[in-house]
């Protein structure tokens, strides 16, 4: 009785390593060791030495974000112009490791270039470095990865410019440039927002902004409901709050929606970075005076051209190098491989009707 049942588990035990070995052998036999390199682009046609059939993969922070959809639409536009192929792969959640499988896949497929808006500047680093070793050119855009993991970073505007613009706007709109203000950001790990917030904090130490006091930084996680509730929380915790800066399109839309149409309208300023489509009704109603952004499509467009030039080895990401970016003209690479698109655009009642994104 017991001896039988004691023998069987041993058999089961043997089964595991046998199965695993079997699988491993099958895998090794069927495939080989593939370094995943070997970009199929051969001929050097196309402008400025950019090879035909350029394969670019672009990875957003998360699927389903309309701002990013427009941005990566710009990548598509440029890639098509260059006669290449664009592939858009995004994770279903903005967790730190969600982009890693996608980066790995791009490396394995041996694409020419990878454009990424990083969820976490460091978490994606090992994967990016591995992809780079397989011969993939790495370009970060919008939300940077750590500089040692990418060759070029396309920044939509200078980090200083973005931070300064938002402080300028809040100072313009808050009466006498005096009072408590708060920041409603995206996720706590987002590179771009954190960089802008750092600039904003430095700006606030300047003499001309001494009347403004930053009381809290709240995180809406780029989730509409959470941003909405965080706004509510800010107003409850700080009844004298004069203004909210939301350096994220999700955050500013949620904050505006909460404040406009509530008793706080007119008393609390909402500004930051937003898309014209989401903010139009609030600007038209007078609740929101001014906010800023840039054209996300241009960011993607520029990123694709940078990637193409990297692949063609026209540039390596060094400071001072220049490259052609189609309809946007010529761009120069700054320190740490950073390329700046241009100054942020401010949207207000006068010009908001001119844009559709």
Q: What b/e string do you get for 227-242 counting C-beta neighbours within 10 Å, with b at 16 or more? A: bbebbbebbeebeebb
Query: What is the smallest separation between the CB atom of 335 and another protein, expressed in angstroms?
Result: 21
Between 64 and 329, name the residue whose CB sits nearer to another protein: 64
**Residue span 290-329 as binding mask against another protein, x where in contact by CB under 8 A, dash where not:** ----------------------------------------
Between 257 and 305, name the residue whose CB sits nearer to another protein: 257
Query: What is the smallest separation between the CB atom of 102 and another protein, expressed in angstroms?
Result: 6
15: tokens are 């089964």
| Interface stretch with another protein, choices 39-47, 206-214, 233-241, 309-317 (CB under 8 A) | 233-241
Q: Taking CB under 8 A as the rule, does residue 102 contact another protein?
A: yes
- Distance from C-alpha of 44 to C-alpha of 311, rounded to nearest angstrom: 11
- Report which of 74, 94, 111 is spatially closest to residue 304, judged by C-alpha positions: 74
- Report which of 202, 205, 231 is spatially closest to residue 218, judged by C-alpha positions: 231
Between 52 and 240, name the residue whose CB sits nearer to another protein: 240
Segment 263 to 282, residues that bind another protein, using CB under 8 A: 263, 277-278, 280-281
- Distance from C-alpha of 67 to C-alpha of 54, rounded to nearest angstrom: 25
DSSP code string of 167-184? HHHHHHHSGGG-EEEEEE
- Report which of 192, 117, 119, 204 is spatially closest to residue 162, judged by C-alpha positions: 192
Query: What is the smallest separation between the CB atom of 208 and another protein, expressed in angstroms?
Result: 28
| Interface stretch with another protein, choices 65-73, 158-166, 199-207, 342-350 (CB under 8 A) | 65-73
Q: Among residues 21, 26, 48, 52, which is the contact residue for another protein, using CB under 8 A? A: 26
355 burial level (CB within 10 Å; 0-12, 13-18, 19+): middle
Between 46 and 121, name the residue whose CB sits nearer to another protein: 121
Segment 116 to 145, residues that bind another protein, using CB under 8 A: 120-123, 125-127, 130
Between 32 and 320, name the residue whose CB sits nearer to another protein: 32
- The full length of the chain comes to 357
Between 70 and 306, name the residue whose CB sits nearer to another protein: 70
Helix extents (H) in 100-214: 100-109, 125-133, 159-173, 191-204
Q: Among residues 25, 34, 44, 80, which is the contact residue for another protein, using CB under 8 A? A: 34
- Distance from C-alpha of 336 to C-alpha of 286, rounded to nearest angstrom: 41
Between 154 and 218, name the residue whose CB sits nearer to another protein: 218
CB of 186 within 8 A of CB of 220?
A: yes
| Interface stretch with another protein, choices 76-84, 100-108, 154-162, 288-296 (CB under 8 A) | 100-108
| Interface stretch with another protein, choices 10-18, 164-172, 198-206, 295-303 (CB under 8 A) | 10-18
- Distance from C-alpha of 275 to C-alpha of 293, rounded to nearest angstrom: 7
Chain centroid to CA 21: how far?
Answer: 42
- Distance from C-alpha of 67 to C-alpha of 51, rounded to nearest angstrom: 29
Q: Taking CB under 8 A as the rule, does residue 225 contact another protein?
A: yes
Between 260 and 306, name the residue whose CB sits nearer to another protein: 260
Q: Taking CB under 8 A as the rule, does residue 97 contact another protein?
A: yes
């Amino acid at each position: 009785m017991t001896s039988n049942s004691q023998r069987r588990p041993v058999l089961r035990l043997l089964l595991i390593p046998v199965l695993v070995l079997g699988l491993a052998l099958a895998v090794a036999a069927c495939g080989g060791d593939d370094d995943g390199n070997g970009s199929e682009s051969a001929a050097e046609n196309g402008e400025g030495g950019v090879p035909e059939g350029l394969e670019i993969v672009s990875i957003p922070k998360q699927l389903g974000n309309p701002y990013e959809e427009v941005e990566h639409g710009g990548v598509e536009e440029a890639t098509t112009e260059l006669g290449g192929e664009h592939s858009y792969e995004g994770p279903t959640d903005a967790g730190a490791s969600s982009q890693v499988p996608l980066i790995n896949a791009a490396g394995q497929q041996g694409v020419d270039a990878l454009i990424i808006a990083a969820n976490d500047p460091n978490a994606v680093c090992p994967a990016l470095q591995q992809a780079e070793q397989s011969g993939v050119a790495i370009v970060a855009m919008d939300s940077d990865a750590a500089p040692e993991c990418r060759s070029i970073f396309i920044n939509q505007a200078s980090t200083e410019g973005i931070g300064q613009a938002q402080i300028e706007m809040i100072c313009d709109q808050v009466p006498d440039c005096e009072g408590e203000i708060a920041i409603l950001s995206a996720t706590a790990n987002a590179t771009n927002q954190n960089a802008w917030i750092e600039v904003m904090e430095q700006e606030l130490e300047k003499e001309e902004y001494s009347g403004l006091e930053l009381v809290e930084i709240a995180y809406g996680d780029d989730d509409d409901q959470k941003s909405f509730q965080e706004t509510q929380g800010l107003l409850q915790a700080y009844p004298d709050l004069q203004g909210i800066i939301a350096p994220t399109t999700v955050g500013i839309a949620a904050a505006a929606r909460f404040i406009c149409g509530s008793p706080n309208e007119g008393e609390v300023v909402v500004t930051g970075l937003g898309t014209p489509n989401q903010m139009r009704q609030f600007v038209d109603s007078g609740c929101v005076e001014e906010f800023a952004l840039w054209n996300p499509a241009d960011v993607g467009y520029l990123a694709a051209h940078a990637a193409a030039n990297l692949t063609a080895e026209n540039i390596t990401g060094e400071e001072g190098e220049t490259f052609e970016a189609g309809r946007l003209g010529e761009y120069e690479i700054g320190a740490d491989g950073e390329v700046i698109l241009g100054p942020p655009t401010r949207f207000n009642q006068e010009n908001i009707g001119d844009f559709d994104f």
